[in-house]
Amino acid sequence: DQQVKQNSPSLSVQEGRISILNCDYTNSMFDYFLWYKKYPAEGPTFLISISSIKDKNEDGRFTVFLNKSAKHLSLHIVPSQPGDSAVYFCAASDRGSRLTFGEGTQLTVNP
Amino acid sequence: GAVVSQHPSWVICKSGTSVKIECRSLDFQATTMFWYRQFPKQSLMLMATSNEGSKATYEQGVEKDKFLINHASLTLSTLTVTSAHPEDSSFYICSASEQTTTDTQYFGPGTRLTVL
């Protein structure tokens, strides 16, 4: 039972444009959500997180939106840069419990 | 800050042998450490959670006698894959947290295990 889903395995955008990565979840107990960035043969790097009491959190070029009623969150990267090319994982937890990861989305930003 | 290292970064071993992977938090004390496994183009799957000084909690379907976890100090956890088989070949990643919750996990660079 995949509780966190990233339905797009890949996404390709032009440099300077917006990248939108999507994530859906099924467990209504999740109340904390995170996005990680991962390069091949490396561990994930934390990007940004959001608590369920918020619907938006922004950090520089990265913004995460949470729609609790739809059980959907998205990561917006603007403007996208070639160095953003990586696999992006969303993860969810209910506090005090473990992280559940999505399958990941490979983002490619073309110069 | 918040650096987690893993050693080795890659290892190749023969079927039937045991392999130990170390995970260290370099600049903080890790109350909790987590071990994940990732197959190609798949998600990170949590294998077990360990708190310093106590037994690890394994996820359903993970054999605790095969994947031995020791969290002997606040800066070191080890994962030993015993009697490794080719199907154990995978990318193993650890993470560490200063807290007992999962909010702030810092990940290691991972270890690529290949069992021949």
Q: Three-state secondary structure along chain B?
A: CCCEEEECCEEEECCCCCEEEEEEECCCCCCEEEEEEECCCCCEEEEEEEECCCCCEECCCCCCCCEEEEEEECCEEEEEECCCCHHHCEEEEEEEECCCCCCCCEECCCEEEEEC
What are residue A35's DSSP bridge partners?
A48, A90
Q: What's the confidence (pLDDT) of residue A98?
A: 78
Contacts of B31 by beta carbon, 8 Å cutoff, 6+ apart? B51, B52, B74, B97, B98, B99, B100
How many CA atoms does the CB half-sphere of A7 hold within 13 Å? 7
Q: What's the confidence (pLDDT) of residue B112?
A: 93
Average pLDDT value for chain B: 90
Residue that the structure tokens 């991962």 belong to = A38
Q: What's the confidence (pLDDT) of residue B108?
A: 93
What span, in angstroms and rounded, lies between the C-alpha atoms of A14 and B66?
46
For the cut 60, the answer to whether the pLDDT of residue B101 exceeds it is no
Cβ distance A93 to B107 less than 8 Å, yes or no, reads: no
- Band (B100; pLDDT cuts 50, 70, 90): low
- A20-34, B15-29, B93-107: least confident range: B93-107
What span, in angstroms and rounded, lies between the C-alpha atoms of B43 and A1?
13
For the cut 80, the answer to whether the pLDDT of residue B102 exceeds it is no
Q: Provide mean pLDDT across the span B41-70.
A: 90
- Band (B53; pLDDT cuts 50, 70, 90): confident
Question: Does B62 contact A at CB distance below 8 Å?
Answer: no
Cβ distance A43 to B49 less than 8 Å, yes or no, reads: no
Return the C-alpha torsion angle A84, A86, A92, A98, nearest 10: -130
**CB-nearest partner of B46 from A36, A42, A98:** A98
- Band (B1; pLDDT cuts 50, 70, 90): low
**CB-nearest partner of A103 from B9, B43, B106:** B43
* Cβ atoms within 10 Å of A19's Cβ, excluding its own: 24
Tell me the pLDDT tens digit for each residue of A63-106: 999 999 999 999 999 999 999 999 999 999 886 667 889 999 99
Contact B53, B76 (CB under 8 A): no
Cβ distance A103 to B42 less than 8 Å, yes or no, reads: yes
Q: What's the confidence (pLDDT) of residue B19?
A: 97
Contact A98, A2 (CB under 8 A): no
Contact A93, A85 (CB under 8 A): no
B-interface mutation test, from A98, A100, A103, A105, most B Cβ less than 10 A away? A98
- Selected residues 26-55 of chain A with any CB under 8 Å from a CB in chain B: 32, 36, 41-46, 49
Cβ distance B46 to A99 less than 8 Å, yes or no, reads: yes
